[in-house]
Structure 1
């Protein structure tokens, strides 16, 4: 299934290009890195509270598949993502596993979901990329049954997450065209402002909103750090466009900047996030 980016849809272009391919290429590392967040979402899934679950921004499918395993035959789990390369990998993983999980390649902001088709909506770092978040969460509300539960995890601010901005800060003198992050723009830190997130959810038909900080310890193998830096984030994408000498210099510079996070064979850091919970307002 090919996805044709709509005019002006920067996220479709982004995630169906090098960014999406980078996530596919580093899928195993990222799944291990973010497994603690996946566990927080899976623990809340239960057939007793309704076995129809939608995973928004499901990427390569790790959380969707984990929820499907938790629910078993009593559940129905669907993942949606705008990235065709990532959805292709998610479908292949489901086929290998024999999972009943289903995957949709579409923009959750506008996709025509079955009305009231889900009892729970979850997302692991997948809801910060909408061009119009109020419109997106209103669409998800229409997909939710009355009193359905929403549980999403999103990053707090860049200043709360120095690990996630170390590469950009270190590389900036060597990559003068490195794009600056824009507050509230679609991207990793779009939901940094708790009051803004609360307003988005209220306006789009959600109630009982609770947004609380969580700090989660994450680890990855030190042996995978350079590959991680080479492929992911704004720096990783820009490194695809520079000459070999510049790439070598940048990688050496940013690798040195990550020294405080390296402990023997492991890279360790604390991820500062929001746990966002709400329920579908009754209509």
Structure 2
């Protein structure tokens, strides 16, 4: 069943959302490096055709391609600007990869083609996740492996909502809709399990993982002021007012700062399944 979301994902990721992720690629790849590492650790030696869902600027796909040079890697994302960067990074590294702009929920992926499907934080944005999981199942070879990393709940990820809690009321942010496409759409792990099973996936495992991630302290103002729902609004208001609110938001991050680093304990699901 589709979820109603106040955000048009295609517009977001092909507009300012995608452009900001491109501009901040190094910060974000550094922050989420433990997730890319975890996906590589899950990769079998025998993978030949890998599909990375919502691959963005390419971090998890490039890590997989480097770790398994005999595999052909394909990345799909709805964001043209992010895929342009991913394609350039793969070419520069001489990796066997290709990319196409599409919604993996609806795109006619080749049937029974991929023996490994993965995603780092790219599966929570589908309008109808069960339809997406069914489409991916059709694209998987018999016995193919599936590995996703997705956020658990907002409550378990206080770093990710600190700015919203600090200055959200002043910005009149839209309320999050539980289960709607977005960062915390997969907060309910059992709901995700049921949808995968209904889409035909077997041996579904939804395992809680807590990943220690870090961000350079000097990058925190950019992270808070440019990314996420708070960053979207701050970029749209008068600079003086934005600076005042950003300063207030940054003061709320004190509990996460350790020396010159910002520590982020990422509460995620590692989702495993087999076709």
- The residue number in structure 1 matching 2:3 is none
5 Å-filtered alignment, 1:88-167, equals 88-167=84-163
Aligned-residue Cα RMSD (Å) equals 1.2
5 Å-filtered alignment, 1:192-271, equals 192-271=187-266
Q: Do the aligned partners of 1:221 and 1:266 also contact (CA within 8 Å) in 2?
A: yes
2:21 is the counterpart of 1:23: yes
**Equivalent of residue 69 in structure 1, options 66, 69, 84:** 66
Bigger mean CA deviation after superposition, 222-231 or 8-17: 8-17
What SS class does the counterpart of residue 224 from structure 1 fall into? helix
User: Cα deviations across residues 62-83 of structure 1 (Å, max 9, x unaligned)?
Assistant: 11111111111x2111111100
Q: Do the aligned partners of 1:125 and 1:152 also contact (CA within 8 Å) in 2?
A: yes
- The residue number in structure 2 matching 1:36 is 34
Shift of 1:173: 3.0
User: Cα deviations across residues 26-80 of structure 1 (Å, max 9, x unaligned)?
Assistant: 00011011010101101222342x32110001000011111111111x2111111
CA distance in 1, matches of 2:221, 2:248: 11
- The residue number in structure 2 matching 1:56 is 53
2:181 is the counterpart of 1:186: yes
CA distance in 2, matches of 1:119, 1:32: 28
Q: Do the aligned partners of 1:171 and 1:250 also contact (CA within 8 Å) in 2?
A: yes
Q: Do the aligned partners of 2:71 and 2:96 also contact (CA within 8 Å) in 1?
A: no
User: Cα deviations across residues 86-131 of structure 1 (Å, max 9, x unaligned)?
Assistant: 0010011111111111111111111111111100100000000000
Off by >2 Å, runs of 4+ in structure 1: none
CA distance in 2, matches of 1:136, 1:249: 42
CA distance in 1, matches of 2:89, 2:136: 25
Evaluate the alpha carbon distance shift between residue 121 and residue 204 of structure 1 in structure 2; reply closer, same or farther with a 3 A threshold: same
Shift of 1:9: 8.6
- The residue number in structure 1 matching 2:272 is 277
Equivalenced residue count is 270
Q: Do the aligned partners of 1:46 and 1:70 also contact (CA within 8 Å) in 2?
A: no
What SS class does the counterpart of residue 185 from structure 1 fall into? coil
Bigger mean CA deviation after superposition, 166-175 or 24-33: 166-175
Q: Do the aligned partners of 1:128 and 1:154 also contact (CA within 8 Å) in 2?
A: yes
Unaligned 5+ runs, structure 2:
1-5
Q: TM-score w.r.t. structure 2 length?
A: 0.96
